[in-house]
């Protein structure tokens, strides 16, 4: 029981990080139908932002977090304005290739400037301990879960109760209808990318205190996040969150009771299994549903 409780606690903070990246991908896919692989690079750059802000400039981790979110949102908006928006008039395969290109460009730039050495950020509250049902959680793991919950709830409230959030959901559900009633798609698309970039930057920063990272983490994270998005249901915010929770728990149970070498395959096995039974994912619908 203690082992199961420990694995469940570990899964909660891992799922929190997955949920942030998957939520950002869902926003972009829902609004523009673009598989933005560059979100993985923004996650990676969020980790490096935290590292250099805290190690080189002596800034607090709590300053590095919003700084990484700001940088992530600016990079995401730049990707949209410079790359994705001009390519919208071409086929979906064009933006797909462009997204892969952006991921590889940003990943290799990071490799050139930062090197291939693994880094880890000195996180706050690591010495604090919280005991639940015989399992132990560090204070920093609690902080990750709290930050993730606040970001997810804040994003949901933004989408639900603000005018621009309502417009974003309207464009995601019926782009042609939204244009007919006069919504500005450019504004909505920029907001979707800004939100996604901020969430990816936050996830990278929070992960940097528990997981060592190098530039290659960009591709690993985004591929798993896309598996979670497909598993939960394309364009579904609840599906992305529930999918992240299920995958995080399944990975940790696989690592704890079977073998750690199979844990990384869990997200993809679940994705294939669900798609065989429900092709649109757990909570997917014919129309995108934010």
Q: Could you tell me the residue ranges of all domains in the chain?
A: 13-215
Q: What is the pLDDT of residues 13-64, one digit of tens each?
A: 788 898 999 999 988 888 888 889 999 999 999 999 999 999 989 999 999 9
Residue 270 has pLDDT above 70, yes or no: yes
- pLDDT confidence tier of residue 198, bands split at 50, 70 and 90: very high
Question: Using CA atoms, how far apart are residues 198 and 4, in angstroms rounded to an integer?
Answer: 33
Q: Comparing 117-121, 250-254, 256-260, which segment has the lowest mean pLDDT?
A: 256-260
More confident residue, 91 or 258: 258
Cα 48 from chain centroid?
16
Residue 168 exposed, middle or buried by CB count within 10 Å (0-12, 13-18, 19+): buried
Instruction: Decide the pairing of beta strands 129-132 and 135-138.
Output: antiparallel
Question: Using CA atoms, how far apart are residues 276 and 269, in angstroms rounded to an integer?
Answer: 11
Section 246-250 average pLDDT: 86
More confident residue, 203 or 279: 203
Three-state DSSP at 262 gives helix
Section 185-213 average pLDDT: 92
Question: Using CA atoms, how far apart are residues 114 and 121, in angstroms rounded to an integer?
Answer: 14
Section 115-123 average pLDDT: 92
Q: How far are the Cα atoms of 157, 166, 284 from residue 170, in angstroms, in the given order?
A: 15, 6, 17
**DSSP H or E segment with residue 156:** helix 139-161
Three-state DSSP at 135 gives strand
The pLDDT assigned to 75 comes to: 96
Question: Using CA atoms, how far apart are residues 226 and 21, in angstroms rounded to an integer?
Answer: 9
Question: Using CA atoms, how far apart are residues 17 and 89, in angstroms rounded to an integer?
Answer: 33
This prediction has a pTM of 0.90
């Amino acid at each position: 029981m203690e082992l199961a409780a420990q694995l469940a606690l570990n899964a909660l903070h891992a799922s929190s990080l997955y949920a942030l990246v998957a939520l950002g991908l869902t926003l972009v896919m829902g609004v523009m139908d673009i598989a933005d692989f560059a979100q993985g690079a923004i996650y990676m750059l969020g980790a490096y932002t935290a590292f250099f802000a805290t190690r080189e400039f002596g800034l607090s981790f709590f300053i590095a977090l919003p700084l990484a979110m700001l940088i992530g949102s600016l990079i995401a908006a730049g990707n949209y304005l410079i790359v994705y928006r001009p390519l919208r008039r071409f086929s979906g395969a064009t933006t797909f290739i462009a997204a892969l290109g952006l991921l590889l460009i940003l990943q290799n730039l990071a490799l050139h400037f930062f090197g291939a050495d693994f880094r880890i950020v000195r996180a706050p509250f690591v010495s604090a301990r919280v005991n639940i049902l015989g399992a132990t959680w560090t204070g920093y793991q609690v902080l990750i879960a709290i930050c993730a919950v606040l970001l997810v709830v804040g994003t949901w409230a933004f989408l639900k109760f603000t005018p621009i959030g309502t417009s974003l959901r309207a464009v995601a559900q019926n782009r042609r209808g939204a244009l007919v009633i006069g919504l500005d798609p450019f504004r909505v698309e920029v907001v979707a990318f800004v939100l996604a970039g901020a969430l990816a930057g936050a996830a990278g920063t929070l992960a940097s205190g528990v997981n060592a990272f190098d530039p290659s983490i960009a591709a690993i994270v985004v591929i798993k996040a896309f598996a979670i998005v497909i598993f939960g249901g394309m364009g579904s915010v609840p599906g992305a969150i529930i999918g992240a929770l299920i995958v995080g728990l399944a990975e940790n149970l696989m690592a704890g009771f079977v073998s750690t070498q199979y844990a990384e395959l869990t997200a993809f096995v679940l994705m294939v299994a669900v798609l065989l039974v429900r092709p649109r994912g757990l909570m997917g619908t014919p129309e995108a549903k934010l």
